[in-house]
Structure 1
Amino acid sequence: MRIVLLLAVLFVAAWLSEAMAAGLPANSTLMLQNHRGHRSPRSPKAHLMITDDNWDPYTFIPVKEVQALLMRNGTQDCCPAFENHTYIQVGKNRDGNTVNIAKLEVPQFFVEFICKPQVVNKPCRLADRKLINQTRCVQQYSYSYAAVGNGTEIEHIEVRAGCACKVFPKESEDTKKGHKLRHQHRGQQRHKKSD
């Protein structure tokens, strides 16, 4: 028992000196308990990684840290987007046809909400670990009125309208096997062609 206690004290002392050398406050966490009880290494600045610019969806963040983040910063988007005022010259109408936006005395600008490049088609932030690989941030679209042609017609044109978190069904084992067999078959065909 004394040996275990001595080892724990030595570990804490080594951790504190490492934390102080890294310029971290003494209450920072370098190791966290995962759900199975095994200790896993963790970045000392993990609580600072929850930003739009350097979000890593595969970094496990315990619920308590997520709650602390929400208390500190307010609500968070699972798939953040940014607002952009866009001048569009050519658009797509509801039928999918390309239309020329009219050139008026005052240019037509459209407000778009665009998925941030670092999250588009990536797993959603703050999603449950069991579902993270089934989620994707997807650009959403809506329609806005625009003067088209020579300026006498009004049409709906497609504009980007936000970034949504989509949850996709998990692939069945049969589907995965089908993909694998298809890739193997293609590989065999390529080898035959090269012979």
Structure 2
Amino acid sequence: MAKDKAKADDKSKPDDKAKEADGKASAGSGKKLLIIGLAAGLLVGGGIAAAYFLFLAPQKKAVAAVEAPPPPPPPPENTTFVKVDRVSAPLVHEGQVLGYVLLDLSLEVKGNANELLVAQRLPALKAAFLKEVTRAPIGKEGEPLIIDFDALTNRLRQAANQELGKAAILRVLITQSTRV
């Protein structure tokens, strides 16, 4: 009976070995399927991402191009700058002074004759600048502590040209602003 059991065990062992081999083979093929599935997923995902960027990115660039302001015109030939130091400007909101700003300016002029005129009339120009910055607030609408540089430089250019009696000042550049 012991021999019969041993023979039965011997007969069952090859079946167990076959099952183990099948299990290892199926585990190996499962790993292969997993790797193939991951690779296929990456390819599909990459294709979707590429299609997204190819078809949607130009639309965003077109919108950005429409919203961008045109570049400023190149400066005229033979221009020079005259430096104006320390123009004091109040930061005003609803009739109350919130603080002061010291502005350093550069005035762009065309030609030596205009440069000489501006240099000779500099005290009068500084007085015109002070009148202009106290005439109306220099802060942005709704944000009185932030200077509206574009509007302020246009106002200062107009005041300077009015004081000089001709359009000698091409641009006013604020080179430094310090809140005090």
Instruction: Tell me if both proteins adopt one fold, taking TM over 0.5 as the criterion.
Output: no
Higher relative contact order (CA 8 A, sep 6+): 2
Q: Which has the higher helix share?
A: 2
Structure with the greater alpha carbon radius of gyration:
2
What TM-score do the two structures reach when normalised by structure 1? 0.24
